[in-house]
A and B are shown apart, each in its own frame.
Chain A
């Protein structure tokens, strides 16, 4: 009666320690430029080499500019040096690299699935907290720090304390223009930013089953924002169809054996859970955040809440601080909040379906005169596909900027960032203070909602804009 998570764990235990920690074999590791240089340096200092270079894939994404001139020059010296260090470390160790001019380059959590290397039943890590995105394939996928990156490079394993099991059941058909992003924002609002701490969360139920792989990745991407170590979803025909034929998926000679193995993975019907949460998605509204934690999400028809109505003293203090930072007052209608920037991108929402959803709203409309709006595809392959479908023209005609792939305005470490006081409608995953640039203010929402904000000049209900 094991769960999906336990089945995957059990097949990866190399050895166990008396204190209950297990040495977990790590099938694959993704590497990017920001959290890896110190790990490679550590290996060199210890005189160690990479144990299985063939199990790794490296890509620059956090630091890269998203403007076309990036292949000829990157002005920021430190960014340049990190990208160069990644190149040298990967090539030196014989690790596959999707370099900045490679058409497959993109955000690490987008290119992994796209290449086919993320497969059901595997363990996979990356020095990035949103690695949980990959749990959408029925994997144990989690973010690690740089010391753990180094540990995996050297040993292909990690010592882990195993989390408890939580199941989040989502049932009900989503209404028009309500998306997986709204589902996960509602889940986080329900359980809180630390509600998942110490758990592996399996997302299940009819709503999840009906989602595409893109939608499932959006859901799993934000599991970390509920504090959980991993999110995962049982593999099914949707998963297999997504993987089939991808360059790094099992080749035809091994495909049937792989699928037969994957079909044994889903949680047993009588599996037991340490905690269960249910969400009825049939009445779900598009969600936006008003504060500085992803748990501060509300239906778009709502108003900015009043901290004074909050009984808990420390939560009251937190809400007051958040409102001060966001320059909002209680009772303001969310749809009365003007925006300066719109960012459609990030590993949460930069896949082809996200761009289609945003383009459908942008089509035939114009970006509001007060707004600067960016669309940043998650990878070179997403960009190419979008261009084949003509989405780039829709965006450009509407007044959006069409950029090259990267993390872009999701975090303030490349040229795309907010300036102090600027307010952004963003499809990314974190609205922390200063996340998109010092003093910047972030409202999280879905791609369709972000496009609606772009054409309205304020937060708007996409169902009214698209009517």
Chain B
């Protein structure tokens, strides 16, 4: 069951970088867990702390003006690299509920939706204006309205965004996708019966 997505009006946190990969979002050594919770401690670890474990004061997540922000704004190809869903779990555990970027890796985008986190895609120019505004006046608020499909920047500029209708419903209602898919169980059964006739070699048990 995913968390319902609520509209946000919160401090926007600018991350003025492109191609932010999931190894940067959550380093591999934090993946040795059996849980989905508690991953916030490792979020952006190598960027938040120096080699001696001291906070890097300039990194946006460490600056007092940005603390508690729930919307992260970053550049293109956000969440590229490893498929680790831990990246989304870490962002959410830290408090983020939405990311705004010009593009995402496919897997990261999917992983967000499965967890009730909203990946907003905006044109590069809109992202530029948001990042610039948040850097110029730290602590500025960003409003994310999923029902209305708009982002309102700190300067009051409104950006419309698109979201797949199914994903939107799932986010707003917190739907359980597996339970939903299982309502198609009869179709899956039928598919398997037919495929078994056409390609029987794919139905041999791998466990022998």
Contacts and interface: CB of A to CB of B under 8 A. Distances in A.
Interface of A: 11, 14-15, 17, 19, 21, 23, 25, 27-28, 34-35, 37-38, 41, 46, 48, 53-57, 62-63, 76, 78-79, 81-82, 85, 94-96, 117, 119, 121-122, 127-129, 143-148, 150-151, 154-157, 159, 161, 163, 193-194, 197-198, 224, 227, 229, 248, 250-251, 254, 257-258, 261, 293, 314-315, 317-318, 321, 411-413, 420, 430, 432-435, 438-439
A129 B82 contact: yes
B93 interface: no
Interface in B13-29: 16-19, 21, 23-24, 27-29
Interface in B105-121: 105-107, 110-111, 114-115
Interface stretch (B3-11, B59-67, B135-143, B178-186): B178-186
A251 B181 contact: no
Given A78-B33, A145-B111, A53 B27 contact: no
Contacts, number: 199
A38 B39 CA distance: 13
B172 interface: no
Given A151-B178, A154-B178, A145 B33 contact: no
A85 B178 contact: no
Contact of A430 (B76, B81, B176, B192): B81
Contacts of B28: 62, 411-413, 435
A412 B45 CA distance: 14
A181 to B, nearest CB: 18
B76 to A, nearest CB: 6
Contacts of B46: 433-434, 438-439
Most buried by A among B19, B21, B46, B203: B19
B85 A155 contact: no
B177 A151 contact: yes
User: Which 6 interchain pairs have the tightest Cβ spacing?
Assistant: A54-B205, A147-B114, A78-B32, A250-B201, A145-B85, A413-B28
Given A14-B187, A34-B31, A248-B204, 20 more contacts: A23-B188, A35-B31, A35-B83, A38-B85, A41-B34, A46-B179, A57-B206, A76-B32, A81-B34, A96-B208, A119-B202, A129-B107, A144-B107, A145-B107, A151-B178, A154-B181, A227-B105, A250-B201, A257-B201, A430-B81
Given A157-B181, A314-B75, A54 B201 contact: no
B122 to A, nearest CB: 15
Contacts of A156: 188, 192
A35 B84 contact: yes
A437 B205 CA distance: 39
11 contacts: A35-B85, A38-B85, A41-B34, A54-B203, A79-B32, A121-B199, A145-B107, A146-B36, A157-B181, A258-B201, A413-B29
Contacts of A420: 51
Contacts of B35: 38
B150 to A, nearest CB: 20
Contacts of B208: 96
Given A145-B83, A433-B24, A119 B31 contact: no
Contacts of B75: 314
B205 A147 contact: no
A88 to B, nearest CB: 11
Given A46-B178, A151-B177, A318-B19, A17 B166 contact: yes
A19 B166 contact: yes
Given A57-B206, A254-B201, A194 B85 contact: no
A314 B132 CA distance: 13
A438 B27 contact: yes
Interface in B59-109: 75-77, 80-85, 88, 103, 105-107
B110 A251 contact: no
A15 B23 CA distance: 35
A275 to B, nearest CB: 16
Nearest to A197: B103
A129 B83 contact: yes
Nearest to A435: B23
A448 B85 CA distance: 34
A63 B31 CA distance: 10
